[in-house]
A and B are shown apart, each in its own frame.
Chain A
Amino acid sequence: MHKSHLVVAAVAAMLLVPAGASAQNYPPPGKPGGTGKTHGKGRTLTVCKKGCDYKRIQKAIDAASGKDTIKVKKGTYREGVHVIGKRYDGLKLIGDPKHPDRVVFNGKGLPKGPNQNAVIVNNADDVTVEGFHARNYKANCFFATNLQDYVLNHLVAERCGNYGIYAFNSKGGKMINSEAYYNPDSGFYVGQTPPQKGRKKRTLLKNLDSWGNVLGFSGTNVRYTTITKSRWFNNGAGIVPNVLTSEKFYPPTGNVISHNDVFWNNYNFYFGAPFKIPQISAADIPYPIGVGLLLYGSQDTVVEKNRISGNYLAGFAEVPAVHLAGNSDPKVAEAAILRDNTVRGNDFGAGNDLNGYDMAYDGSGSGNCFEDNTSRSPNMPAGTAAFPGCPGPNPNVEVAGALGQILANSLGDPKNPASFEAHWIKHPHPARKGVKPLEHYPG
């Protein structure tokens, strides 16, 4: 086998590690959503330590129906709550939207079982969870699954076991005005979006801060999702839609990533982290560190008008799903291919905060195109052959050796954390108000 093939195979193995492979006891995928309902006016139930209807949030949920609003007053709540079933369609669980830090879910030391997530919403549509800070849960901070039209607003997700704010097998929904940090998988995740023929519901991620996570955003087989006006910084990698056959509904398609600030995603957590460092088996190889935005096997995706800067490997990379390429199942093989992705109007190295490379793409697939991007660092490969204008050609022009080069630069060994930085091209970062670069955790 040629060396380049070895590299491809190795990185293919790396990418076989599903985002969330270590997640525990998730409900099985169901059939999300109905047609949406209009709810009449319900009751308001209050929760606090003294003088409210309930002392525990779960007790209020148990007593509520979908028309109701549960208002949780300030305090620390040591419980994990679940909102499960259609009877909760339309429920509102409200803390303090202006000051989420005043209404805290703390999972530290809670026994296993139902307390793995601060909040899990399963099979209940139109549920709003708003104004909470969750930390220290074994699985996820906030988790919505098998539903449609959730609203996760004004939340802070800190140091949970997998994802910060997580939506799975769901149609539509919003993650907005929230922050996630120090999570050992991704800060925000949307995945296994059911295909929707004809009418569809779009998922919106907006006004988010995601930092200090292994990934800022991960989306395995994510569809119809818009990620916008958010900051993705100081993660191992910033935004990573990806394709895996371990989850349904591949490939990721119909997504838009626009108007984001994607910077300094060079957090080498293998040198130390405030979370449990992901354990990698001998057969697996972990994510690259130092990439702002990575499309791993996407189709019909728009990457538009983002500011992408200070990422030491590459600002943007577009890589076919090499571990699925040539699969005997034509549907799987098709999911590996990059098709009809548009990269336009992005500002690479904005503020003279340079990326290692601005864009990396091997020229594979069809209909992929690049226009009106501002570039300040070289692309990989050099030249314009791999980066045609729009509309993209069918097929694109594959550049020999480019894929091997891109993948080789991504390789690292967790037992040797410095190996993740071997191909970094470091430039000094201009100062930013309120944030400092995180490359090695200082704690």
Chain B
Amino acid sequence: MKKFLLGTTALIGAGMIAGGALAADSQMAGSSPTVSLGGFADFEAGWAGQKSAYETGVFSRAMKFRDYNQVHVNVNGQTDNGIGYGAVLQLEANVTPDDTNYSTGNADKAYIFIESRLGRLEFGSNTDAARTLKVDAATFARASGGIDGDWYHWVNITGVAGTSMFIVRPDLPTAEQLGTTAPNSNKITYYSPRISGFQGGISFTPDQGDIGTATGWTGDMNGNYQNVVNGGLNYTAQIDKVSVAAAATGEWARNELSAVTDELSAYNFGANAGFAGFTVGGSFGEWNHSLQANSGAGNDSYYWDIGGAYETGPYALSVTFMDSRFASNKFTNVSVGTDYKLAPGLTPFVEASFFELKEHDAAGTSKNNGSVVLAGTQLNF
């Protein structure tokens, strides 16, 4: 009987593998496109405490509620010879204009794609390859996203005069400039298939000021970075019970007003490791003189991040830390968050972030520090 079990199991296994291959080949060739509707509806209640000198304008109130919503339309099809194609439209569904991404139109992202076994091409307003391929502490941060989460909406991060710049998210310059046209500017991106754990990607953006339709064009001398190339290489592996991920990303470009603003030159290295529900990792990003005046003065900008997370069943907890310097302005943030998968797509969370922004300009040095506590829920559909 044992011999039969072993023999049958082996033969069944071989039969399944052979049958599986046949099934895949005959399964989806030439299917008509499908159009799916999804999205999310998020709500957050937040309380922020910061230095009184910074509590101006919208920051004069400590406790505020926020909702953020999108409707996603996904088109997917496959040609008779197996070429995949489709489109992604992430439509704004907010009562007021988007506070996270630049959008004076109706969508956050809008792009089409084509893919085959040689890779995937994306065309349109979408995130660049350096951001999608990166690996850092924010990769596994929970709640609203930890050091890459929503805390900053409650904090004055532009200084007393509203003109200072800090690196407040673990990103290269293009992606870090949330709220501008740069992150989702019109671009073409190529991703390779993942081969032996490695996957590469590269994006080209003619003008980081151009986004969406022709009404979003900005011309040639507006101080945007032009002919931007960014991309990276990502590696993932499972070694016994340990999962490993690592990435190297970078971006380069010259400014339209190169005599005024220094060139875009930045790179990042990061790695994560996971075991038995625990994940640890971090990254280092070097900005050089990106986004700074082309005066030759000023410090190089950089950031680094580190963190850990633990997930068990529907519960998850993460602690993430970030430190950065943009020219002479320094920033640190530690964020602790926890979330609970109440139901598929329904994840309430609580998150506390403790930050310090130290700006140094001609007027001297001033500091804003404080904390943000968020409680909310993410609803995905």
A complexed with B? no
A: residues with CB less than 8 A from B are none
Which B residues have a C-beta under 8 Å from some C-beta of A? none
